[in-house]
Amino acid sequence: MRIVLFILVLLLLQVFTFGLGRSLQWLFAPYIAARGRRWLMGAAFFITNALIAGLLLQLGHAVFRWMAFWMVLLLFVMYAALATFVLYLLLCRFMAQKPMSRSLRLFAPLFVVGLLGMAVYNAYTPVVHHADITINKPLEKPLRIGMASDTHLGVLFGARQLDKLADIMNREKVDIILLPGDLMDDNVNAYRAENMQPHLEKLRAPLGVYATLGNHDLFGHERDIYEELTKAGIKVLANESTVVDGRLLVVGRNDDLDKTRPATETLLRGQNTALPVLLMDHRPTDIEAHSKLPIDVQVSGHVHNGQVAPANLIVRFLNRLHYGYEHIGNGHFFVTSGYGFWGVPLRLGSQSEVWIIHVKGSQTHQH
């Protein structure tokens, strides 16, 4: 099955590369001869397949990042080609061929630049979503949860974004902060090199800051990541639970890359589940099973809401809840698109975000 998928991806890349080549040939047709246009097509295929070879030869993370950017560029060029064709259909009855051709050749690259600009904006400009829920357990007073996932701290996302996140949490006056995984982008190299600890330490809340480990925290550097988060004042719950202020049970479950992680039922066994239970589980894959357990609120990430369209449409069919909020069974479930990004600093059809969850209990006293 993996081989079939790999072949399909390879073929799709070749098709998209052909689309890029044809788009470039059309764009520069008035300015270069046929030989030059053939060179453009050849250059497009050379870049695509050189990057594929670099990935197969495992030439490093930089090759992966360039490949990710190239794939997004291929996609955006296809979007531009479709938009240009639609515009052609709209204009062909009203404009002469020559001015229309010039207009379309100006429109197409501007459309790609516009998509790239929007995608960068979405990646670095967080929105804040608010949700009000009532759980079926008593709470002495309302609880305000701040949740951000998938920060992917690294070369392209770091101190400035952490400062912005701390400002959001402070402005929203949250009681507790939950960070359900993928805090680092595979390792702590950039985190240490750019001295991000003072900025991460700015994340503070009266009831504490809690995190669990996502798949990108478990690629062989989990001990370093655990230590750095702990030094920054974050309580890492790696398949653990803790009672907070005598009134909340917070549970953290590692990503399923951790083959030793216990079932959620095991993590809850022997715990006081009469308290409101908050679960951090990086992937939202077990939501239906968790809806039958005494879990009141689950926060997850991982999916990034696809990050770049049309992946947001694809992940919708792969998960019970791929993004947003849903009340299922016993619990309230939240899946965020994430605060950071994976691979490239681009988001289309999704945006960097923070969730503020206002929780009331069945017998909450207003203060």
Question: What domains can you pick out in the chain, each with its CATH number?
Answer: 2-122 (no CATH), 127-360 (3.60.21.10)
* Alpha carbon separation from 292 to 243, 267, 268, 289, 296 (Å, rounded): 21, 15, 13, 6, 10
Cβ atoms of residues 249 and 277 within 8 Å: yes
For residue 366, what pLDDT is reported? 52
Pairing of strands 324-328, 143-147: unpaired
What whole-number distance in Å separates Cα of residue 89 and Cα of residue 85?
A: 6
Identify whether the C-beta of residue 264 lies closer than 8 Å to the C-beta of residue 286.
yes
Please classify residue 62 by burial: count the beta carbons closer than 10 Å to its beta carbon, then call 0-12 exposed, 13-18 middle and 19+ buried: exposed
- pLDDT tens, residue by residue, 208-262: 999 999 999 999 999 999 999 999 999 999 999 999 999 999 999 999 999 999 9
pLDDT tier for residue 58 given thresholds of 50, 70 and 90: confident
Under the banding of pLDDT at 50, 70 and 90, the label for residue 367 is: very low
Quick one: pLDDT band at residue 6, thresholds 50, 70, 90? confident
Q: Do residues 349 and 315 touch, judged by C-beta distance below 8 A? A: no
What percent of the chain has a predicted confidence (pLDDT) above 90? 89
Q: What is the pLDDT of residues 249-268, one digit of tens each?
A: 999 999 999 999 999 999 99
Residue 92 in this model has a pLDDT that exceeds 90:
no
**Residue 228, CB-side half-sphere exposure with 13 Å CA sphere:** 23
* Burial 203-242, CB ≥16 within 10 A → b, else e: bebebbbbbbbbbbbbeebbebbbebbeebebebbbbebe
Q: How confident is the model at residue 62, as a pLDDT?
A: 86
| pLDDT category of residue 364 using cuts at 50, 70 and 90 | low
> What does the pLDDT look like over 345-361, one tens digit per residue?
999 999 999 999 999 99
Residue 94 has pLDDT above 90, yes or no: no
Question: In angstroms, rounded to a whole number, what is the distance separating the alpha carbons of residues 149 and 334?
Answer: 11
pLDDT digits (tens, 9 = 90+) for 95-128: 888 888 999 999 999 999 999 999 999 999 999 9
Q: What angle do CA 297, 206, 224 make, to 5 degrees?
A: 75
User: How sure is the predictor about 67, in pLDDT bands with cuts at 50, 70 and 90?
Assistant: very high
Residue 163: pLDDT over 90: yes
Phi, psi of 358 (to 5 degrees): -95, 115
Residue 328 β-bridge partners: 331
Cα–Cα dist 11/52, whole Å? 12
What local confidence, expressed as pLDDT, does residue 348 receive? 97
